[in-house]
Structure 1
């Protein structure tokens, strides 16, 4: 900096910084601090009577990994079904967020609200029964908050927990019947919890609960302008007794979908509204066991690395002081000290694997850093998958650089061919598997199938971003001087005797992977 700016230039920069600091300290009232929110997670303030539009998400199950579109089942459809703004991660995860017929008014309670009436055919009834057998749940969203079913725990002093989404239906038996019947949850009791701002009078949505019920609605007259149900009445609390008949699923059965909505003030602030969803009951991940295993592997690997470094450091110094032709009376692994750094047979393939490993490692590390900083919050749907795909593309620069450095260390000359392998081998293998699996998922009519346009975009990103970055990294890495080997390599390879059967690469790979 001294050479570039000189003494006078540095003094002027220092005085400018002092003046800027004085302005900030003397006039704080004229400065406005602007914060920003991540896409899709900015708070929204609602006045009394403002419209709240419920959006529908995919049908998901813990028994199968295939998600389905909400309108795959014969649910009520709005006049025009439109998709919300989606990112690449949402499409890859099968999250199709669409509009629905459920619309509320802020802080205005409604009861026995009729959504629609649908007559099931044989195909629709079969779809409902299949999804009930596979324990599929319906996912909805209100103000970027997923719907959840509240439950009460018996063994923890009645503590309340949530289950994301509600069941499509259930199986049961009628009195006098032997076979089990299928019933659909056609009535939804919604509860919207809000946190009120006393100063402005606005409210923010901090909770979205639902209690699904099944009831066989009956009506005197069906008029679109004046629907008169006998099982519940608008404007009055909907109460279904124990003697109410649930709505059975069957061909030519008529199903009337209804819902209630109530509002409840809550002390939960908007910044903490996701806390309940992050501690949901369900399939618990054994984080302690995972972290314990990971720490054991890292600890043992560190111990082994320190032992090896302390053991061979002095030997390497002695070997480098001697001539290559000088014979030493060594035993064990020291006999091959002059053959360790000889290039292997498939050196280019090893370089490709190392470069791909650096690419995966860099993508994982940066993704975890973004997650720790809060950029990949669960409210930003698809953000994690989008970040991983983009980081994988940009880490192609480091993949090409590391593979080229190792390739030059092995005295390789055809760096262009090696860079082609790095750019196409592993991604091409993954894309082939992805294409076959996507074809199978598409045959099941699942929403998890990636559309052709998205696959074309992925291929375009692969060839337009990743491949040029791999070539650029390879070019930069190959131009640098090759790293020197710690130990000199003998001119004549040492003959290695036959190894016992348990030293076969297959067995050593299996035994080495038991601990992790």
Structure 2
């Protein structure tokens, strides 16, 4: 299939420039990360929130901590804002190579309202997150002593007052920072009364020989430390099992096909007038009859192709090391930019295929393509952003960011979509059908219940889901928890296995559908291929109730809302893969026989 050289060239140049930009990573205020003794090193306080609710985050100074003399907000990239980061100058002066021993940060009297505010945060296990020279710092703000089966009124609340920073340096650069809360220096907030608080900190500098280029390696090495062996074993076991099943089914399918070809060739040579055709050859005049709702079908293929391209580019960035741990906002920036730049692919694919199906209203088809995935995503975002605003959470996007996204959509995404659609309209590609379609469709025989759409989707989605089931836990623990995912090469292998299994199981089911003389395979192939997305959403229910401690309306809304959009994206992408594989297969088998 030919592609428009102009759209392809612009796409390649744009993504190449983006790759060169994003690989540089996130820079701190001190752009070269080099300091002299006594120089101020940038420390930014990011956010606080319940430890088990990663989406429910608030500004650091929403809690009554000590304020610095000059509160300065850091200018953030678009991806950082989308990630919910709101960096402001931190309270602790951690100057380069300056040790401090129990330095008092501030003394303040906490009012009853502030005590109640801290108690509420302690009850939800609030944590804090900061960045020191782009290195992450995190810790709990306090603890709650809960005895088993004790009445909540008997709980005791303690706020940590002292924090110790251990900082490693190599010559003139910061290599590592560790924070430890002093369990003995606590403030009892059990009673709802005014209390005097004294916040203090200690800083100790130590020299190390770790090079600056490897200071992020410890986060990669510490990803899933307790489950790494189980992780590898499960992945290998899953891949071997799926490959064996796939090979077994492929052998059976190829043998059956070979027998079909021999049988049909023998029937053609015998030239018997009373020979009645049966099986998939019998419906050769209907199998390439265009599907119902061809505009919606073409739009789904276009959107699925765009999402597949987006996924491939994300994997390329991940494998070359762009998404190293705590590269703030890099993933969200990549998702947004690549999705915008690939909108031309969606327009071209959908319109070109729509004209192959002899469609007429290509403008309507283009509008449907642009809104098929973005429409549900926009509705979900508006609802969840309203929830975040009601909670006064940093997950709520500022008005300026929303305006920027609207401008990007208006000035870049929509024009590229239209350009792709025009290129697809002018491509003049005809649908290649090896058999002529009859004027009137044959009646589809009555089939048993297990050959209907829903049972076929269940069978089609189970095997690909079993290939990624093990990996899903690690991905969920990273996206909806505080784990770090770094084994992108293994994830890419699992993705390849997912595509292969999805393509094969769809082809197998379509073959059995055609042998039953059911020629309406177009939508069936798409639905069977995309059914894995439904299984993934089912796993979301299992993960929420059995593997996580998330709670609260906001966290539940974000988890199930955004996972619905992600699973819908998987449905479109894998549905496209299933249809493309089925189309190649159907063309092949009907090209291999002589159809009169």
Q: Which TM class, normalised by the smaller chain length?
A: 0.7 to 0.9
Unpaired runs of at least 5, structure 1: 1-35, 148-164, 197-202, 217-244
Q: Return closer, same or farther for 1:290/1:488 CA change in 2, 3 Å cut-off.
A: farther
Matches of 1:122 and 1:399, distance apart in 2: 57
- 1:324-363 maps to which residues of 2 (within 5 A)? 329-363=276-310
What's 2:96 paired with? 106
What's 2:433 paired with? 485
Query: Larger deviation: 437-446 or 124-133?
Result: 124-133
Higher Cα Rg: structure 1 or 2? 1
2:421 pairs, out of 474, 480, 486, with: 474
Deviations 1:44-75 (A, max 9, x none): 12222222232111224441131221112111
- Report the number of matched residues: 424
- SS of 2:425's partner is helix
- SS of 2:173's partner is strand
Deviations 1:146-183 (A, max 9, x none): 12xxxxxxxxxxxxxxxxx1111101289xx9822111
Deviation of 1:357 (Å): 0.7
Contact 1:40/1:379, CA 8 A, preserved across alignment: no
Q: Return closer, same or farther for 1:131/1:329 CA change in 2, 3 Å cut-off.
A: farther
1:270 aligns with 2:234: no
Contact 1:214/1:247, CA 8 A, preserved across alignment: no
Deviation of 1:403 (Å): 1.0
Contact 2:302/2:349, CA 8 A, preserved across alignment: yes
Deviations 1:381-415 (A, max 9, x none): 10111011110011111111111222122111111
1:132 aligns with 2:74: no
Contact 2:26/2:328, CA 8 A, preserved across alignment: no
- SS of 1:146's partner is strand
What's 1:415 paired with? 362
What's 1:64 paired with? 53
What's 2:39 paired with? 50
- SS of 1:512's partner is helix
Deviation of 1:257 (Å): 0.8
What's 1:279 paired with? 221
What's 1:117 paired with? 107
- SS of 1:103's partner is coil
Matches of 2:42 and 2:217, distance apart in 1: 23
What's 2:17 paired with? none
- SS of 1:343's partner is coil
Structure with the higher fraction of residues in helix conformation: 2
- SS of 2:42's partner is strand
Matches of 1:484 and 1:112, distance apart in 2: 78
1:495 aligns with 2:443: yes
1:248 pairs, out of 183, 189, 198, with: 189
Contact 2:48/2:127, CA 8 A, preserved across alignment: yes
1:171 pairs, out of 116, 127, 144, with: 144
- 1:41-440 maps to which residues of 2 (within 5 A)? 43-65=32-54, 66-147=56-137, 165-172=138-145, 179-196=154-171, 203-214=172-183, 246-248=187-189, 250-280=192-222, 287-288=231-232, 289=234, 293=238, 329-440=276-387
Using the size of structure 2 for normalisation, the TM-score is 0.65
Using the size of structure 1 for normalisation, the TM-score is 0.74
Matches of 2:251 and 2:357, distance apart in 1: 26
Superposition RMSD on alpha carbons, in Å? 3.2
Q: Return closer, same or farther for 1:37/1:401 CA change in 2, 3 Å cut-off.
A: closer
Matches of 1:133 and 1:247, distance apart in 2: 13
Deviation of 1:495 (Å): 0.4
Q: Return closer, same or farther for 1:409/1:181 CA change in 2, 3 Å cut-off.
A: same
Deviation of 1:112 (Å): 1.7
Matches of 2:227 and 2:403, distance apart in 1: 36
Structure with the higher fraction of residues in strand conformation: 1
